[in-house]
């Protein structure tokens, strides 16, 4: 440091060689530090890819991305510590400073630490993985990446959402695509005038029409069930099983098939109705009008007698 001060004084007095010396004394450490940082950056990129690639291909993509981020950030942190050591700041003293101010840092970063701990829990218990469709906090989206502090998801309308891990781990997680098959349910309400046996047979015909898209085995059976008598309808429910990836397509085909077969058989689908009976009101109005007409001559007669 003293050499730098002497060189600056000589440069201020007009010694041009001292100006070059000052430049070399300042630029050389800066260039060296940048070279070290760039070296650790490329090393971190290479090491993270090298370590995570076999995990992605042989184990799981979710764990592979998590390890890749962990290795990358760890190497960058090592590079920063190496630069500090290069400039004379010992890592032991640096760690002592961090330890001394650990309480304040913990309070300041308690949200970040909570997200980090939640990220570890998500990786250990694995409630979902990359590519799963989940519902968290009322948000339905596809998991894109699980990071140390947050999870990236893509909504069905192609919006990217970054959710803190603590907001995921502390709430109910619905993994929609966890199982390979799902049950499709279509509620149907028909009019009370419809024959129940014919309605049941018609709904079975609707299921058979899409038999090429549904699953039929001992555990996943199709069902047509009478579930209730509503205020204005007889309530049925049609249930079939489909592959999870084809859930929306099967649901669309089942609704279309049910509606088509009900229309073809002339079975009316019930809907809320309100009947207004106005004949009593009309009779009352006629009665009031008749009484008024009978009273009007008396009123006119009383008015004539008063005038006389």
> Is residue 109 classed as helix, strand or coil in its secondary structure?
coil
- Global pTM value: 0.59
Helix (H) or strand (E) holding 116: helix 110-125
Q: CB 184: neighbour CB atoms within 10 A?
A: 23
Render pLDDT for 159-174 as a digit per residue (tens, 0 to 9): 999 999 988 888 889 9
What does the pLDDT look like over 188-229, one tens digit per residue?
A: 999 999 999 999 999 999 999 999 999 988 888 999 999 999
Domain-wise residue ranges, the chain = 2-100, 127-175, 181-264
* Band (39; pLDDT cuts 50, 70, 90): confident
- Asked whether the predicted pLDDT for residue 37 surpasses 90, the reply is no
127-175: which CATH topology? SH3 type barrels. (2.30.30)
pLDDT in tens, 66-90: 778 778 888 888 888 777 776 666 6
Q: What is the pLDDT of residues 171-194, one digit of tens each?
A: 889 999 999 999 999 999 999 999
Distance (Å, whole) CA 308 – CA 296 = 19
Pairing of strands 173-175, 223-229: unpaired
pLDDT attached to residue 54: 78
> For the structural domain made of 2-100, what CATH number should be given?
1.10.287
Beta bridge partners of 145: 152
Architecture per CATH, domain 181-264, reads as 2-Layer Sandwich (3.30)
Region class of 32: left (phi > 0), else alpha (psi between -120 and 50), else beta: alpha
User: What CA–CA distance (Å, rounded) separates 155 from 177?
Assistant: 14
Largest interatomic CA distance in the chain: 137
Question: According to the model, what pLDDT value does residue 90 have?
Answer: 61
Residue listed under structure tokens 């073809």: 264
From 223, 227, 234, 222, select the one nearest 196 (Cα to Cα). Answer: 234
Dist. CA 90–CA 60, nearest whole Å: 39
Residue 218: how many CB atoms within 10 A of its CB? 5
């Amino acid at each position: 440091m003293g050499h730098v001060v002497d060189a600056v004084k000589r440069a201020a007095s007009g010694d041009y060689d001292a100006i070059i010396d000052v430049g070399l004394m300042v630029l050389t450490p800066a260039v060296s530090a940048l070279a070290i940082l760039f070296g650790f950056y490329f090393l971190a990129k290479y090491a993270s890819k090298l370590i995570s690639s076999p995990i992605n291909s042989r184990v799981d993509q979710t764990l592979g991305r998590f390890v890749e981020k962990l290795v990358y950030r760890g190497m960058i942190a090592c590079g920063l510590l190496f630069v500090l050591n290069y400039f004379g700041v010992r890592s032991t003293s640096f760690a002592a400073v961090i330890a001394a101010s650990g309480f304040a840092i913990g309070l300041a970063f308690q949200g970040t630490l909570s997200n980090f701990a939640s990220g570890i829990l998500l990786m250990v218990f694995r409630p979902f993985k990359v590519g799963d469709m989940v519902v968290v906090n009322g948000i339905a989206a596809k998991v894109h990446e699980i990071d140390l502090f947050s999870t990236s998801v893509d909504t069905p309308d192609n919006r990217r959402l970054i959710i803190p891990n603590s907001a995921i781990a502390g709430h109910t997680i619905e993994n929609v695509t966890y199982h390979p098959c799902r049950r499709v349910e279509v509620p149907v309400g028909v009019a009370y005038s419809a024959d129940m046996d014919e309605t049941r047979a018609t709904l079975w015909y609707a299921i058979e029409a899409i038999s090429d898209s549904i699953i039929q085995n001992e555990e996943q059976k199709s069902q047509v069930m009478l579930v209730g008598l509503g205020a204005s309808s007889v309530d049925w429910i049609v249930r079939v099983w489909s592959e999870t990836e084809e859930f929306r397509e099967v649901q669309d085909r089942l609704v279309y098939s049910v509606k088509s077969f009900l229309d073809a058989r002339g079975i009316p689908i019930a809907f809320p109705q309100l009947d207004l009976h106005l004949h009593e009101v009309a009779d009352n109005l006629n009665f009031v009008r008749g009484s008024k007409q009978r009273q009007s001559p008396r009123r006119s007669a009383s008015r004539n007698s008063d005038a006389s």
